Amino acid sequence: MQVWEVGIEWNGQTAAIAVGNLNRVTGMTILESGRMSSALETNEGQKQLSGSRVSPLAGRPAPREMLVDLARLEKEYFDRKPDFEDANQLVSFGTSGHRGTSLNGTFTEAHVLAITQAICDYRKAQGITGPLYMGKDTHALSSPAQCSALEVLAANNVAVIVQDNDGVTPTPVISHAILVYNRTRQVGLVDGVVITPSHNPPEDGGFKYNPPNGGPAGTEATRWIQDRANDLLRAANREVKRIPYEKAIKAPSTHLQDLLLPYVKDLKNVVDMDSIRDAGLRLAVDPLGGAALRYWEPINAMYGLDITVVNPTRDPTFSFMPLDHDGRIRMDCSSPYAMARLVGLRDQYQLAFANDPDSDRHGIVTPTSGLMKPNDFLAVAIHYLLTNRPEWRAKCAVGKTVVSSCMIDRVVEKLRRQLYEVPVGFKWFVSGLIDSSICFGGEESAGASFLRRNGEVWTTDKDGLIMDLLAAEITARTGRDPALHYRELTAEFGSPSYTRIDAPASDEQKRKLQNLSSDSVKESQLAGEPIVAKLTKAPANHAPIGGLKVVATPGWFAARPSGTENIYKIYAESFKDESHLNAIIREAQEMVSNALGQS
C-alpha cells in the first residue's frame, strides 16, 4: 500500500505522519494505524459505507478552549445524580469495567460507590478473603474515584493495598502484583481494581475489576457486578457501606505500599534487560502523561539503560497531546495523529515507544518506518519470541483475536506452533497464560502480554511496558529495529493491507448481527476467491465472536456491532493488493446486509 506523508508542525518541529493512500476508486483514506478516516463510496451508486473524516486539527496541539474544565468535572462528579430513566446513565460493567464522564451523568460518585459495594458483595459471595490491590491512572476523575472507592472498601473491612504517596499504578502492575501474591497460596487470595478509562479523552473516568486470576473479569463476574451495582443505584445507594475518607485512609485495613519497585525488579525475568544495556541503545519514551511516567527512571537506574523521557509532563487536561484523527484529545498510542510528537523525534533515537494512561497498550516508533501498525509489531514480537525463548514449551500456543492480522497465522504456521484464535477481549487469554499453554496473547488494538523467560506467567492483563522493552530487546540482540524485521516477514509471507471501517446499523440490526448464524451467509466467494470459512464462533474455544467472520485464502473480513453507537465495525485484510481489499470491503457489507435480511 502506498503511503503519503503529511508534515505536522509541533513546537517548531515537523512531524512526518504517514496517513495512507487516498484511494481513487473508493474515496477513502486508509490510516497507517489501520483505520479509515472518510466515507467509503463505491462507484455503484456512490453508496456511503462509513467513517468520520480526518479533522483539520488532527495531529496539532489542542486549542485552549478545547481543554476540559477540571473544576466543573470534579464538581459534577460529586454533585450530579444519575437519571435512572436514561439507560446510558446506569452501570454498564463490561470486560473493561464501567466508563463514562461526570459531565453527562455516566461516571459519578454514585456510580463508583455502587460499583465498589457490588465488588465487596461479589468478593463475599465468591469467598475472596485476601487483600484487594487498587490502582489508578492520571485521568482527572481517577483520584476522586479512588477516594470514593476507599471509603466503601474500608467500611466493608476489605484490606486494600494501594500505592503510597497517592501514587498512580499501571494496569499491568496490578495484574503482576495479584499473580505474585497468589502464586503460592490456595486460600486468602487477592484481587484488584484499576480506576482508568484507558486511552479515553481527559473528561472520562473508568473503573474495572481483576479477579484473583489477575486478568480482566469474565462475563459472569461483570454481569453480577453490573446487576448488583444497578440495584444499589436504583435504591439511592442506601445499602452502600461508607465511612469518611479521613478515616478510610487511616483504617487498619488500608495498606500504603510501594508497588513500583517489585514490578521493576522483576522485569529482568520477562525481558533480556542485560542485552538492552550492553547494546547501549539510545531510547526514548513518551508516557503520554500516564501512570508509567514514574517507572522509567527507576528502570533506567536499575538496569543501566539510556531511556530518555521526552515528555515528563503530567497534566490531567492532557493539553500536551496532539489531537487525534477526529479532532479530540485521546491518548491513543496506536494513532499516528496522537503520536505526532514522538514520531517527529524518530531520527534522534534508535527506538522510541509510548503507552496509554494505564499503560496496557503500546506504540512502537522506529527510525526506518515511524509508528508501526499494532498488527505489524505483534507479528514481529511473536516471531522473535518463538525463536528466542528456549525455555518456553514447544507446545505452547500463540493467542490472537479474530480481528487480528493473518500475518500472525502465517508466522505461527511456519514455526510449527499452534494458533489460539479467540473472540475480541483479552480475558480469553487469561487461563492459557496462567497455565502456560499460551505463551503470547495479543489484540489488534495494541495490547499484549507474554510469558516470563522461564515459561511461567508474567501478567494476565495487557502490559504495554514489556512490549516497549521487548522492542528494545529485539533491536539490541539482532541489530535491526522491529520495522526492519517486519519487512523481512513481508518479503517471505506477503504484504497485507489491513483496515477497519464503521457502517451504520440500527439497534435491531446490531442485535441480529450479534446473534447471527454462519448458515445465514449464502455466498461461496469473497472478492473472487473461494470462501474457506464462515465463522460466528472462535476457532480456538468456540465462544461466540459477537458477529461474523468470512475467510478466503488471500483475505478476510469480520463484522461486529458496536456496544455504544449505532454502527457495526468491519475489519478487513488482503494479502493481494489495495483493490482486492476494497472489493472485500464492498462485498462484506453486501454479505452482512443479505445475512441480516435472512436472519
pLDDT digits (tens, 9 = 90+) for 256-292: 999 999 999 999 999 999 999 999 999 999 999 999 9
Whether the per-residue pLDDT at 24 is higher than 70: the answer is no
Does residue 575 fall inside a structural domain?
Answer: yes
Whether the per-residue pLDDT at 12 is higher than 50: the answer is no
Q: Which of 397-406, 418-427, 482-491, 561-570 has the lowest mean pLDDT?
A: 561-570
The DSSP result for 481-512, as a single string, is: -HHHHHHHHHHHH---EEEEEEEE--HHHHHH
Task: Quote the pLDDT of residue 563.
Answer: 74
Buried b (16+ CB within 10 A) or exposed e, 125-161: eeebebbbbbbbbbbbbbbbbbbbbbbbbbbbebbbb
Which residues are paired to 208 by β-bridges? 194
Task: Quote the pLDDT of residue 94.
Answer: 74
Task: Quote the pLDDT of residue 16.
Answer: 45
pLDDT digits (tens, 9 = 90+) for 59-79: 999 999 999 999 999 999 999
Give the whole-angstrom CA distance, residue 283 versus residue 306. 6
Q: How confident is the model at residue 528 (pLDDT cuts 50, 70, 90)?
A: very high
Task: Quote the pLDDT of residue 53.
Answer: 76
Give the whole-angstrom CA distance, residue 504 versus residue 313. 39
Task: Quote the pLDDT of residue 39.
Answer: 25
Q: How confident is the model at residue 45 (pLDDT cuts 50, 70, 90)?
A: very low
Q: How confident is the model at residue 414 (pLDDT cuts 50, 70, 90)?
A: very high
In this structure, which amino acid lies at residue 140? A
Does residue 54 fall inside a structural domain?
Answer: no
Joined together, the cell numbers standing for residue 410 give 502465517
CA distances from 377 to 241, 404, 419, 442, 470 (A): 46, 12, 17, 10, 10
Q: State whether 275 and 413 are in the same domain.
A: yes
Q: State whether 541 and 557 are in the same domain.
A: yes
Q: How confident is the model at residue 522 (pLDDT cuts 50, 70, 90)?
A: very high
Give me the number of domains the chain comprises: 3
Most confident of 1-15, 291-305, 511-525: 291-305
The domain boundary residue, chosen from 472, 493, 514: 493
Q: How confident is the model at residue 42 (pLDDT cuts 50, 70, 90)?
A: very low
Does residue 317 fall inside a structural domain?
Answer: no
Whether the per-residue pLDDT at 38 is higher than 90: the answer is no
Q: State whether 457 and 362 are in the same domain.
A: yes
CA proximity to 78, closest of 143, 133, 137: 143
> Which CATH number is 463's domain given?
3.40.120.10
Q: State whether 200 and 250 are in the same domain.
A: yes
| φ/ψ (deg, to 5) at 384 | -65, -50
Of all helices (H) and strands (E), which one includes residue 572?
Answer: strand 567-574
Whether the per-residue pLDDT at 18 is higher than 70: the answer is no
Whether the per-residue pLDDT at 534 is higher than 80: the answer is yes
Q: State whether 206 and 158 are in the same domain.
A: yes
For residues 595 and 516, the answer to whether their CB atoms sit within 8 Å is yes
- Return the number of other C-beta atoms located less than 10 Å from residue 395's C-beta: 10
Q: State whether 424 and 439 are in the same domain.
A: yes
Does residue 65 fall inside a structural domain?
Answer: no
Q: Which of 243-257, 432-446, 497-511 has the lowest mean pLDDT?
A: 497-511
What is the C-alpha radius of gyration for the chain, rounded to an integer number of angstroms?
23
What is the percent of the chain with per-residue pLDDT over 70, rounded to a whole number? Answer: 91
Mean pLDDT of 173-199: 97
For residues 24 and 40, the answer to whether their CB atoms sit within 8 Å is no
Whole-number mean pLDDT of the chain? 91
For residues 345 and 283, the answer to whether their CB atoms sit within 8 Å is no
Full residue range of the structural domain in which residue 394 is found: 263-310+345-493
Give the whole-angstrom CA distance, residue 332 versus residue 565. 19
Mean pLDDT of 314-327: 96
Give the whole-angstrom CA distance, residue 176 versus residue 192. 11
Q: How confident is the model at residue 599 (pLDDT cuts 50, 70, 90)?
A: low
Does residue 150 fall inside a structural domain?
Answer: yes
Task: Quote the pLDDT of residue 357.
Answer: 98
For residues 448 and 467, the answer to whether their CB atoms sit within 8 Å is yes
> Which CATH number is 520's domain given?
3.30.310.50
What DSSP designation does 185 have? -
Taking each helix axis from N to C terminus, what angle separates 464-478 and 171-182, rounded to the nearest 10 degrees? Answer: 90
What is the percent of the chain with per-residue pLDDT over 90, rounded to a whole number? Answer: 86
Mean pLDDT of 522-539: 96
CA proximity to 441, closest of 456, 423, 420: 420
Whether the per-residue pLDDT at 304 is higher than 70: the answer is yes
Q: How confident is the model at residue 52 (pLDDT cuts 50, 70, 90)?
A: low
Joined together, the cell numbers standing for residue 522 give 449464502
The domain boundary residue, chosen from 440, 468, 493: 493
Is 313 buried (19+), middle (13-18) or exposed (0-12) by CB count in 10 A?
middle
Whether the per-residue pLDDT at 173 is higher than 50: the answer is yes
Q: State whether 472 and 592 are in the same domain.
A: no
Give the whole-angstrom CA distance, residue 399 versus residue 385. 13
Mean pLDDT of 39-48: 28
Mean pLDDT of 310-323: 97
Q: State whether 483 and 576 are in the same domain.
A: no
Task: Quote the pLDDT of residue 205.
Answer: 98
Q: State whether 269 and 292 are in the same domain.
A: yes
Does residue 211 fall inside a structural domain?
Answer: yes
Whether the per-residue pLDDT at 187 is higher than 90: the answer is yes
Q: Among 96, 142, 175, 198, which one carries the catalytic annotation?
A: 198
- Return the number of other C-beta atoms located less than 10 Å from residue 316's C-beta: 20
Q: Which of 28-32, 148-152, 335-339 has the lowest mean pLDDT?
A: 28-32
Is 522 buried (19+), middle (13-18) or exposed (0-12) by CB count in 10 A?
exposed
Whether the per-residue pLDDT at 21 is higher than 60: the answer is no
Which residues are paired to 205 by β-bridges? 100
Q: Which of 220-234, 253-267, 508-522 has the lowest mean pLDDT?
A: 508-522
Q: How confident is the model at residue 17 (pLDDT cuts 50, 70, 90)?
A: very low
Task: Quote the pLDDT of residue 325.
Answer: 92
Task: Quote the pLDDT of residue 597.
Answer: 83
* Residues in CB range of 417: below 8 A, 6 or more apart: 386, 396, 397, 398
Joined together, the cell numbers standing for residue 325 give 484523527
Which residues are paired to 255 by β-bridges? 161
Secondary-structure percent of the chain, ordered helix, strand, coil, rounded to 5? 35, 25, 40
Q: State whether 350 and 420 are in the same domain.
A: yes
In this structure, which amino acid lies at residue 53? R
Does residue 315 fall inside a structural domain?
Answer: no
Q: State whether 369 and 351 are in the same domain.
A: yes
* Residues in CB range of 33: below 8 A, 6 or more apart: 334, 335, 336, 371, 373, 374
198 tagged catalytic: yes
Most confident of 290-304, 516-530, 558-572: 290-304
For residues 359 and 170, the answer to whether their CB atoms sit within 8 Å is yes
The domain boundary residue, chosen from 469, 493, 517: 493
Mean pLDDT of 289-302: 98
Joined together, the cell numbers standing for residue 237 give 445507594
Task: Quote the pLDDT of residue 474.
Answer: 98
| 15 vs 129: which has the higher pLDDT | 129
Does residue 207 fall inside a structural domain?
Answer: yes
Q: State whether 502 and 489 are in the same domain.
A: no
Give the whole-angstrom CA distance, residue 429 versus residue 421. 10
Task: Quote the pLDDT of residue 492.
Answer: 97
